[in-house]
Structures are given as structure tokens and as C-alpha cells.
Chains A and B, each alone.
Chain A
Amino acid sequence: MRAVYGIVVRELVRFLRQRGRVLASIGRPFVWLIFAGAGYAAVFAGRNEIDYRVYMAPGLLGMVVMFGALLAALSTVTDRDAGVLRMVLVAPIRRGTIALGKALGATVLGTTQAVVVAALLLPLVHLRPSIAGALLAAVAVVLSSLAMGALGLALAASIRSLENFAGVMNFVVFPMLFLSGALYPVRHLGPVLRLVAYVNPLAYGVDLLKHALLGAWASAGYGGEMSSWLDIAALVGFAVVGLVAAAPLLAREGGVTRTAFRQRV
């Protein structure tokens, strides 16, 4: 498992060296809190029962996890472009080990960022979770990071170039965010969109975070909308699917010569 450790360490070192990425990941939720928060708070139906900025807090943590883990998965695309993936592929380790290392790297990054943001955000909106709530929130953050990292990895491994990835980010990230319950309850959506929300891993992560942090508002209808066990099972399921899908896709890099041939012919 030394290889997994090595892959995780490399992800961390790379992340910490990119100062812009660190600042963006910590600053982004506060930009949403200020701008989206201010606007939505005025029109939010539940304004008498819950401050919209409190309602947003679990969703913003989910967003931090999503960006943190997906951007970590993005590094697989740059690894491929830069050739680093080949160093990993010629090492005596299984493809599944590579996928696991990458996904765990994304988990560590997503979780760390969410913890840092939570430490700043929750006091700011005067949200003080119980100990049980904080523990459940930690479980939610770790499992969501793992699920998002694994799925992002499968996505990144199946994509050839960075340009494609940017497109996917736009067509995946924003729908995923809006259909996650981060900004408004999923139950207010129409049946079709609600169906889409149910195949959205972020929706389960955000839902579990609501269970953890918005328990006091559950009776008013602003807590989790699904069972926490369902949330946990779904996140684990997404993580397994992502890892199983990513491993063979990563091995396709072996086809470097194939690409070289196509270019030449």
C-alpha cells in the first residue's frame, strides 16, 4: 500500500503548491454565501422559519467537497498529458491500486477543504452543530469526497484532453450543484428533475449534511429529505461504481502507441 500512500502524498504536495487553487477552494463558498445568499434570502419561502444563509451552509460544504474532489480528479487528465501517468503505469502495481490512490487523494483533499471551510463558515452563520451532528457531518464529507473523487476519476480517465474536461465540468458540475438540494429543497422540483436529482451523488452528500447540521429545522421541512442510511448507502455505491469503472479506463493509457499511430497515419 506504499504506492497508494505515494500517490496521495503527491496529490497533497501538488495542491498545497498551487496557492491560487487553495485560495479559490476556500473563498468560493463565501462568494456564494454573500452573493447568492443575499439574493435568495429575500425570496426564500422559509425566511420566517430559517435564515437562508443557515439553510445554505450544508449545501456550501457539499459544494466545497464537489469542487475539491473533482479538481483532484482533474489532475488525472493533466497527468496523462504530462506523461506522469506513464510513470505510474510502468510501476509494478495493479490498475485498481492506482484508481484507489487517486480516489483517496481526492478524498483527503475534499475533506480537508471542507473542514477548513466549515471552521470558518459555521460560526459565521451562527450554526453550532451537536457533537453527534458534527460526527455525522464528518462522515458525510468523507463519503461524499470519496464518491465524487471516484466518479470524477472515471470521468477524467475516459477523457482524452483538458478541453473536453472543461466542457464536462460545465455540463456536469452546475447541474449537479443545482440539483443537489444545496440551494433549495429537492422536493420542490418537478418529477423529472427530481428523478435526475436521485442519480446525483452530491444530492445524497448534501442531504446527509442537512441531517447532520439542520436537525433543528427538520420539523419545518428544511432537514434531510431522505433517510440518512439511504444517503450513506448511495454514496458508498457511487464510490464503488466510480472505482470499478476508473481502473480499466486508466489502463487504456497503455495505448499510447495506438494514439501515436493514429496521428502518424
Chain B
Amino acid sequence: MTAAAIEARGLGKDFGTIRALEQLDLDVRAGEFFGLLGPNGAGKTTTVHLLATLLAPTRGTARVVGHDVVRDDLAVRRAIGLVFQETTLDRDLTVQENLRFAGRLWNLPGPLAVPRIEGLVRQFGLLERRDDPVRTLSGGMRRAADLARGMLHEPRVLFLDEPTAGLDPRARRSLWELIGRLRQASGLTVFLTTHYVEEAEPCDRVAVMDHGRLVALGTPAELKRTTGVTSLEEVFLARTGHALGETGAG
């Protein structure tokens, strides 16, 4: 399995005079667990939104599972799952109603959607809460429900944009267990953005991003070895001249 799940060539985005993403060249292999590491404002979310067809690129091209993000946006959206930084569930509807709604948006016929929802709700530990409104769920459960929503149409590439933001350590751990199980079960490609080094550590490869530019790319071990340091934190410091915790300029 060496087919590219994501290919970006000179991909860039400007917002007015701000260059959110300079020129990104990137290949993510099918089945890969890929991490995009960088501080807030580095251009991570912009990258995800460009690849997910939510933004139109200012320059360059990108293909996701072979489909062009501009010309073939529907095919791209059909093939990907996307979990945003903040929940996108309707807080007034129950978990089950939200998933039914998502199933209809993704054009899944009832007989297909119902058992799939049942399976996801069970797998994600939401069985007892599925008839409760989303607003009554804890942050961790809400995230799990978001993830269930993102997986409902069995995407080939799953984008996780800062998925653990605002979660306590225990909820974080259980979310990662879930994602690990999903990857093992389906050979899913996972594209993760994060500003936590410990979340980038288990990735197959990590791209380090700062000020809209890619500053390093490789396996965590390679990055540490070539930089001559022992942690990804130090990799970031060595390659950018500032610490990861310090927000890069907007």
C-alpha cells in the first residue's frame, strides 16, 4: 500500500495580505498516521480546511485519494471524515438523532445507517447515553460522538484537527485508544494536527510547521536523529528558533 492518500503541490492560502500557508508540498501514504505539529497560527487548520475543500486554495493543487480538491470537491468530501476543533453536533438533539442526521447528509440509506450507528455507539462507549441531548454529555463523550459522526460514512482518510483541545488527560487517553483501534481495524489514513509533542510522538511521520511553512518532515526518530536531539520539542526549537509553546505570529 504505497498509493498516496494526500498529495499537495505548492499548496498555499492567503487571507488578504496574510500568508496563512506559503507553499506546501506533501505526500501522505494510504494507511499512514500522519501528524502536523506546530503552534497556534502555524497554518495547520488552514491546511486541513484546504484539503477538506472547505477553503479554496490561493495557489497550488492538492489531491485527496486521487480527487482534486477544487474540481472534484464532492468526491473528496465523500472520501474523508473530519473532526473539527470544536464540536459540530447539534446540542439540542440526542446522540442518536445527530448520527441519523449525519447519515442522511452522507446519503446513507436507513437500513445501512441504523446498524452502523448502533455499532459505533457501542464501540465508542455511548450506548447508555445515545438518547440524551448532546449538551448533557461530558467533553470527552461529546468528542467521541463527534468522532462517531466523522466515521459514520467509513471514510478512507480521517482528519483530526486538534482533537483533544479542551479535554482532560483521561478523556484524551481514551480518545487515542479509540483512534488506535479504528486504525488497526480499517487501515484508515489519519491526518492529525496538534500542538502537543506527545500526540505527535506515535505518528508514523511528522511534519513540523511554523509561520505557514513546513520546516521539517520525517519519522519522529529521524527528526530527532538528524537534529541531534532527544525530543520533538527540541526538534521544533532547533528548527524554528523558538519553543513550541510560544505562539508563532498569526
Q: Are B101's CB and A6's CB within 8 A?
A: yes
A-B contact pairs, 29 of them (CB 8 A): A2-B109, A5-B104, A6-B104, A6-B105, A9-B101, A10-B93, A14-B90, A14-B92, A14-B93, A17-B92, A83-B86, A83-B88, A84-B90, A87-B102, A87-B149, A89-B54, A90-B82, A91-B77, A92-B77, A92-B78, A93-B107, A254-B55, A255-B55, A257-B15, A257-B20, A257-B49, A261-B18, A261-B41, A265-B250
Beyond A83-B86, A88-B105, list 10 extra A-B contacts (CB 8 Å).
A3-B107, A7-B105, A9-B101, A13-B93, A82-B90, A83-B88, A86-B54, A91-B106, A93-B107, A261-B41
Residues of A within 8 A of B75 (CB): 92
Report the tally of A-B residue pairs with Cβ distances under 8 A: 92
Mark contacts of A71-91 with chain B using CB atoms, 8 A cut-off: 1 yes-contact digit, 0 otherwise.
000000000001110111111
Residues of A within 8 A of B100 (CB): 6
Mark contacts of A247-263 with chain B using CB atoms, 8 A cut-off: 1 yes-contact digit, 0 otherwise.
00000001111101110
Chain B residue nearest to A253 in the complex (CB)? B54
B224 within 8 A of A: no
Q: Are A258's CB and B15's CB within 8 A?
A: yes
The distance from the CB of B172 to the nearest CB of chain A, in whole angstroms, is 20
Q: Are A257's CB and B104's CB within 8 A?
A: no
Q: Which of the residues A2, A82, A84 comes within 8 Å of B107, measured between beta carbons?
A: A2
Would A91 and B105 be within 8 Å (CB), given that A83-B84, A261-B18, A261-B20 are in contact? yes
Would A90 and B46 be within 8 Å (CB), given that A83-B84, A257-B15 are in contact? no
Most chain A CB neighbours (cut-off 10 Å) among B49, B104, B106: B104
Mark contacts of B214-249 with chain A using CB atoms, 8 A cut-off: 1 yes-contact digit, 0 otherwise.
000000000000000000000000000000000000
Residues of A within 8 A of B114 (CB): none
Would A82 and B91 be within 8 Å (CB), given that A256-B49, A257-B46, A257-B49 are in contact? yes
Residues of A within 8 A of B20 (CB): 257, 261
A: residues with CB less than 8 A from B are 2-3, 5-7, 9-10, 13-14, 17, 82-84, 86-94, 254-258, 260-262, 264-265
Q: Are B15's CB and A261's CB within 8 A?
A: yes
Which bucket holds chain B's interface residue count? 35 or more
Residues of B within 8 A of A2 (CB): 104, 107-109
B89 within 8 A of A: yes
Q: Are A264's CB and B250's CB within 8 A?
A: yes
Residues of B within 8 A of A7 (CB): 104-105
Complex: how many Å from CA A14 to CA B46? 32
The distance from the CB of B49 to the nearest CB of chain A, in whole angstroms, is 5
Residues of B within 8 A of A6 (CB): 100-101, 103-105
The distance from the CB of A147 to the nearest CB of chain B, in whole angstroms, is 26
The distance from the CB of B189 to the nearest CB of chain A, in whole angstroms, is 17
Complex: how many Å from CA A48 to CA B65? 75
B74 within 8 A of A: yes
B45 within 8 A of A: yes
B52 within 8 A of A: yes
